[in-house]
Amino acid sequence: VELRDQHVTDGFDAVAQRALRGAPGELLLVPGPVSLNAEVQAELEHPPRPHYGPDWVRVFDETTDRLRAIFRTTGDVVLFFGPGAAGLEAALHTFLHQSDRLLVPSNGVFGERLSRLAEACGVTVIRLPFAPKEPVLPEAVAEAAERAGATALAVVHNETGCGLVNPLEEICSEAGRLGLFTIVDAVSSLGGIPLEVDRWGIDVCVGVGNKCLAAPVGISPISVSRQAWERSGSADLGPKGSFLNLVTWRDARSRPDHHPHPTTMPTSTLHALHTAAGIVLEDPAGFLRRHAATAALAREGLSELGFPLYVEDERYASPVVTAAYALETMNLDDYMGWLASTCRIRIARGIDTGDEPVFRVGHMGLGADPEVAAAYLELTRHYLEERVPA
């Protein structure tokens, strides 16, 4: 790529280099997985360690406690080995009953996926679709729950596919009023968007390490209320096996002499999560503010450059991922390819945004940094000047 103004791209390469500390690879501005801070990356690269012994158990227990603090719960946390979808499936299997009627509101790809996961587990699902770009409305949830005789609710906090955050506190408040057992998909929100498991009355909340917590892929932390464990005693959905049954994970913890989990764990990943969670807890409110400030800057900057934002209503614009339409005069593949090849910065396409040319910029991991967002915007400005007809 020939550029008139080479110093501009050199400048951005320097930003990527600094963020990556000179490491090879790309700066991921996709909504997970994320580029890791050097300390977390070092844990991941540490030679393998065993998943037993007192030193390991101490780190495992400390990580569990750190996640408890991040979930804002005094209840239980299971560090489940697997991706978010496995954590969600385990939660559905472990706590729901054949007699349950599970309401699943949806305004995007992950809400729909949650419905399908629940159906695959044999749960009776009541879908409550919302129009694209519309948040899940608490009053509509309450009305549908009453109409359908729902006993449980499963809801996505942050719709990663289109950058829309649902008003979870208000949704949970309605669920609490109606006595619904509540399961939350916080896969793309945990750590990056305010979330209060105990105060909001969430029974089971499923996250992952590899998004806002800024850790590598491999562990799905799941918070479990006392009521949820009680419910698991009589859960009677079809065969749930052993690995996907969170009771197996809970019970393994009572034999820490061996190891406090039922399977071999990805030890480097756990150590990296331990470090990443420690960083979150140095200043949890500041950590949240940094995501929100980065998203605000990205939204403002993209708007100024003429990109129509996918979610127009500020109240529901995600603080961890921004989606926008490409300009009519530009080729989205060319733009994304240019970012990747010239600047080593990777952004994502919209998911479930129809045939429309939508792209997403993640504000997670090293991307949750206003300086990185400013650099990305400057680079985009440069791209438009150089390669897009006015």
Ligand X SMILES: Cc1ncc(COP(=O)(O)O)c(C=O)c1O
DSSP codes joined into one string, 294-342: HHHHHHHHHHHTTPPBS---GGGB-SSEEEEEPPTTS-HHHHHHHHHHH
- Per CB under 6 A, the list member of 85, 140, 237, 330 interacting with ligand X is 85
The answer to whether residue 75 forms part of the interface with ligand X (CB under 6 A) is no
CB hemisphere CA count around 39 (13 angstroms): 10
Q: Are strands 164-165 and 181-185 parallel, antiparallel or unpaired?
A: unpaired
* Rounded CA separation 379/244 (Å): 45
- Sign of the C-alpha dihedral computed for residues 99, 100, 101 and 106 taken in this order: negative
Q: Interaction with ligand X in 101-120: which residues (CB under 6 A)?
A: 110
By rule CB under 6 A, what count of residues binds ligand X?
11
Angle at 281 between CA 278 and CA 284, to 5 degrees: 145
Furthest C-alpha separation in the chain: 68
Give the interface segment with ligand X, choosing from 80-88, 229-237, 298-306, 355-363 (CB under 6 A).
80-88
Which residue is nearest to ligand X, using beta carbons?
84
- Per CB under 6 A, the list member of 11, 18, 69, 83 interacting with ligand X is 83
User: What is the closest distance, in whole angstroms, from the C-beta atom of residue 158 to ligand X in the complex?
Assistant: 6
User: What is the closest distance, in whole angstroms, from the C-beta atom of residue 34 to ligand X in the complex?
Assistant: 11
| Residue among 158 and 380 whose Cβ is closer to ligand X | 158
Angle at 13 between CA 387 and CA 322, to 5 degrees: 70
The answer to whether residue 279 forms part of the interface with ligand X (CB under 6 A) is no
Q: Interaction with ligand X in 126-185: which residues (CB under 6 A)?
A: 156, 160, 185
- Tell me the per-residue interface mask from 24 to 63 with ligand X, x by CB under 6 A, - otherwise: --------x-------------------------------
DSSP codes joined into one string, 33-77: S-PPPHHHHHHHHSPP--S-SHHHHHHHHHHHHHHHHHHT-SSEE
- Per CB under 6 A, the list member of 75, 84, 191, 362 interacting with ligand X is 84
| Residue among 9 and 94 whose Cβ is closer to ligand X | 94
Cβ atoms of residues 12 and 345 within 8 Å: yes
User: What is the closest distance, in whole angstroms, from the C-beta atom of residue 152 to ligand X in the complex?
Assistant: 18
The answer to whether residue 188 forms part of the interface with ligand X (CB under 6 A) is yes
State the residues that interact with ligand X by CB under 6 A: 32, 83-85, 110, 156, 160, 185, 187-188, 208
